[in-house]
């Protein structure tokens, strides 16, 4: 059985990391797995990138033109919204490779036009890592028009062009409704099943995977010595690919929580992975250490940072899954997050971490205080690695995908 994964990048970004790990899991399971990308940055086994410098230049041109077009259309965020408008030869490459199953992942950044999805000639599994496949141009949205047929701009007095409605209507025309949809969390599956675009599709939940043989804890004090961290302080990690300015990641909520902590701030320091130019941080009294490189799932630096810390803070308003909680948990570091997000699949409340009531700063603060308690922390850290090995290992996740592939064939 030949599986072809299709993702914009091989290693850059959370979706790329998740896709690559699945690819590796299938290879280790003796499955003929291949990965097709537009952006080739690493040296990954059985990965196919652009064929020429001209193809690379054309891909960059499409991204540039897409930004210009989104600016004209007054997109909410010209860099994050995705319209998948410009055509490419990617669908021909996919068909020419002749896989038994095409497994789409994150296919934005003008990798393929929506209208070309109909031209894929083999069974398609679509692993969705955010809400974009069933909403408009944005990647996360609670707009009712995607769930209720009587809610859309055409029924209102709105006269301005709506880029989200335009992309959504194109998806309605472009999808053949025969995608086998895999959601990476129960939260995301619930959203997909209630959407107008995917309500008639086969939808299952299979989580992201991680190699627990590679991701192991390092002695805390050894890790702190290597990173030049103080031996007796408490360290909380916050990680965000797009930095602390990303509203969805809720860094402002974390700052509010830190101000309410019972634990003394003088004995506490925040470790930030990602960009940090936020005035909220600079004007606060919180001590912090910054790692501006987000490391793209590289286990060597991340294992050190996680192992040196006491807990992971994930105050995301919306979170499709929570790979940071998965990586850190494999290193025996528990997390605090919100319920009603994809983190519910990784964290069992007060067993291996803490799930605060959604957007409750007070409850999130309670979670931080609880995990800063050594006795509770020691219990949770042992439980979280055990949960991950039993539920998110390469063998476990690869077998679930293989079962889905066999059903399609």
Residues whose CB is less than 8 angstroms from the CB of residue 342 and which lie 6 or more positions away in sequence, other chains included: 184, 185, 186, 187, 188, 319, 320, 321, 322
pLDDT in tens, 338-374: 999 999 999 999 999 999 999 999 999 999 999 999 9
Instruction: Taking residues 51-60, report their average pLDDT.
Output: 91
Instruction: State the chain's mean pLDDT as an integer.
Output: 93
* Contact criterion met (CB below 8 Å) for 251 and 238: yes
The DSSP string of 331-349 is TT--EEEESSSGGGGTPPB
For 259-343, where are the E strands, in sequence order?
Answer: 268-273, 288-291, 311-314, 335-338
pLDDT at site 84? 98
Residue 93 tokens read as 């490459």
Residue 90: C-alpha distances to residues 9, 32, 50, 97, 296 (Å): 13, 20, 10, 11, 25
Residues whose CB is less than 8 angstroms from the CB of residue 28 and which lie 6 or more positions away in sequence, other chains included: 394, 398
CB < 8 Å & 24+ apart, contacts of 260-268: 260/361, 260/362, 260/365, 261/365, 261/368, 261/369, 261/372, 262/369, 263/234, 263/368, 263/369, 263/372, 267/232, 267/233, 267/234, 268/233, 268/234, 268/235, 268/236, 268/372
pLDDT in tens, 185-195: 999 999 999 99
pLDDT at site 157? 46
Position 238 pLDDT exceeds 70? yes
> Tokens 């293989």 label which residue?
402
> Tokens 């605090």 label which residue?
336
Residue 347: C-alpha distances to residues 141, 145, 235, 274, 325 (Å): 24, 31, 20, 23, 8
In this structure, the dihedral spanned by the alpha carbons of residues 371, 268, 327 and 367, taken in order and rounded to 10 degrees, is: 30
Mapped onto helix, strand or coil, the DSSP state of residue 320 is coil
Mapped onto helix, strand or coil, the DSSP state of residue 373 is coil
In this structure, the dihedral spanned by the alpha carbons of residues 81, 83, 87 and 91, taken in order and rounded to 10 degrees, is: 80
CB-based burial, 158-186: b 16+ in 10 Å, e otherwise: eeeebbbbbbbebbeeebeeebbbbbbbe
> Given pLDDT bands bounded at 50, 70 and 90, which one contains residue 132?
very high
What is the number of helices (H) and of strands (E) in the chain?
13, 13
pLDDT in tens, 79-118: 999 999 999 999 999 999 999 999 999 999 999 999 999 9
In angstroms and rounded to an integer, the radius of gyration of the C-alpha atoms of the chain is 22
pLDDT at site 89? 93
Instruction: Taking residues 373-384, report their average pLDDT.
Output: 95
Calpha distance 239→309 (Å, rounded): 12
pLDDT in tens, 12-40: 989 999 999 999 999 999 999 999 999 99
> Given pLDDT bands bounded at 50, 70 and 90, which one contains residue 152?
low
pLDDT at site 159? 55
Residue 409 tokens read as 């064939």
pLDDT in tens, 293-335: 778 788 999 999 999 999 999 999 999 999 999 999 999 999 9
pLDDT in tens, 244-290: 888 999 999 999 999 999 877 778 999 999 887 666 666 777 888 98
Calpha distance 25→171 (Å, rounded): 31
How buried is residue 390: exposed, middle or buried, by Cβ count under 10 Å (0-12/13-18/19+)?
exposed
> Tokens 């494999």 label which residue?
330
Q: Is this model's pTM higher than 0.85 or not?
A: yes
Nearest to 345 by CA among 363, 331, 326: 326
Instruction: Taking residues 201-208, report their average pLDDT.
Output: 96
Query: Which domains are seen in the chain, by residue range?
Result: 2-209+394-408 (3.40.50), 220-391 (3.40.50.2000)
Nearest to 192 by CA among 126, 243, 258, 268: 126
């Amino acid at each position: 059985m030949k599986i072809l994964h299709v993702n914009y990048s091989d290693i850059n970004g959370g979706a790329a990391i998740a896709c690559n790990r699945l690819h590796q899991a299938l290879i280790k399971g003796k499955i003929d797995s291949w990965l097709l990308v537009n952006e080739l940055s690493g040296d990954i086994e059985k990965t196919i990138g652009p064929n020429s410098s001209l193809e690379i230049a054309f891909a960059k041109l499409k991204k540039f033109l897409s930004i210009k077009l989104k600016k004209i259309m007054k997109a909410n965020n010209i860099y994050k919204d995705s319209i998948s408008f410009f055509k490419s030869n990617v669908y021909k490459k996919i068909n020419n490779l002749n896989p038994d199953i095409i497994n789409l992942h994150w296919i934005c950044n003008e990798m393929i036009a929506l209208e070309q999805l109909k031209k894929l000639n083999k069974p398609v599994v679509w692993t969705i890592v955010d809400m974009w496949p069933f909403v408009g141009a944005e990647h996360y949205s609670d707009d009712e028009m995607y769930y209720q047929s009587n809610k859309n701009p055409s029924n209102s007095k709105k006269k301005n062009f709506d880029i989200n409605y335009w992309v959504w209507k194109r998806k309605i025309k472009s999808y053949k409704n025969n995608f086998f949809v895999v959601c990476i969390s129960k939260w995301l599956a619930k959203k997909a099943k209630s959407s107008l675009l995917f309500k008639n599709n086969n939808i299952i939940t299979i989580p992201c995977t991680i190699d627990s043989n590679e991701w192991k804890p390092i002695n805390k004090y050894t890790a702190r010595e290597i990173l030049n961290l103080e031996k007796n302080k408490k360290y909380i990690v916050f990680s965000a690919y797009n930095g602390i300015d990303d509203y969805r990641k809720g860094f402002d909520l974390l700052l509010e929580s830190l101000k309410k902590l019972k634990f003394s701030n003088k004995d506490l320091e925040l470790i930030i992975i990602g960009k940090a130019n936020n005035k909220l941080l600079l004007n606060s009294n919180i001590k912090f250490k910054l790692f501006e490189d987000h490391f793209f799932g590289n286990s060597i630096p991340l294992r050190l940072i996680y192992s040196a810390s006491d807990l992971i803070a994930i105050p995301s308003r919306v979170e499709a899954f929570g790979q940071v909680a998965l990586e850190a948990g494999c290193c025996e570091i528990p997390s605090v997050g919100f319920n009603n997000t994809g983190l519910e699949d990784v964290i069992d409340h007060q067993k291996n971490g803490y799930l605060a009531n959604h957007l409750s700063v007070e409850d999130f603060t309670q979670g931080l205080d609880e995990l800063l308690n050594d006795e509770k922390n020691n219990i949770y850290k042992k439980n979280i690695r055990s949960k991950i090995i039993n539920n998110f290992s390469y063998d476990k996740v690869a077998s679930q995908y293989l079962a889905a592939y066999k059903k399609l064939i």
